[in-house]
Homo-oligomer: A and B are copies of this chain.
Amino acid sequence: MSPPALLDLAAVFVFALTGALVASRALLDLVGFLFVACLTAVGGGTVRDLLLDRAPVFWVQAPHFVLLASAAAVLVFFTAHFLESRYRVLLWLDAVALSVAVAAGVAATIGTGHGPVIVTLMGVITGCFGGLMRDVVCNEVPLVLKAGELYVTAAFAGAIAAQLAFTLTDMPWLPLAACMAVTFALRAGSIRLGWRLQAYKPRPPRHK
């Protein structure tokens, strides 16, 4: 099994866990869990494949992705009440899923003749759009847009790190590992240590 396929599998599984956790916060039923988990799990990769015109999209060719996401939903439905803080687990799983999905997006795009701008964007899109759909559909404030948090920023930095590493080495796994490490480190620093970007201020104090 090729690295991109393995990364896709891992991203699908972890994103499905986060989707099911958001479903649990919305007090949905089991089928609602399945729906949100599958949407979150395959959303980002689906947008990527549609934009790149890879037809049909990855999970239509290989239905086991959807079955894996469904298994994650069932798992969360029957075990989430054991968790101390579902929101905290959600945040950290989302960070893992983001890191893996950005690497999967870069891996899927880098051999296809597109330049660095598009490879970077496809990494960011694969990483961010599943969670964005999850949050819009469930009416949560999108994690993607929480002011100041390193989220799209982390995805962006990871995608660029991967491409730098690809120019330095021939080993296929190293750049993807670098991508995951950079994305996760920035996101974890933001969750845990409060690293953040300056949010826009409408009227900064000037020349008193």
Contacts and interface: CB of A to CB of B under 8 A. Distances in A.
Interface string A112-154: 0011011001000000100010001111011011011001110
Interface residues of A, number: 59
B117 A63 contact: yes
Contact of A145 (B35, B115, B142): B35
A28 interface: yes
A162 B35 CA distance: 20
Nearest to A156: B31
Contact of A27 (B23, B63, B128, B200): B200
Contact of A51 (B60, B117, B141): B60
A86 to B, nearest CB: 8
B67 A56 contact: no
Interface stretch (A9-17, A99-107, A171-179, A191-199): A191-199
A56 B56 contact: no
Given A31-B152, A31-B197, A57-B51, A26 B147 contact: yes
A163 interface: no
B29 A148 contact: yes
Nearest to A119: B63
Interface in A2-43: 23-24, 26-36
A105 to B, nearest CB: 13
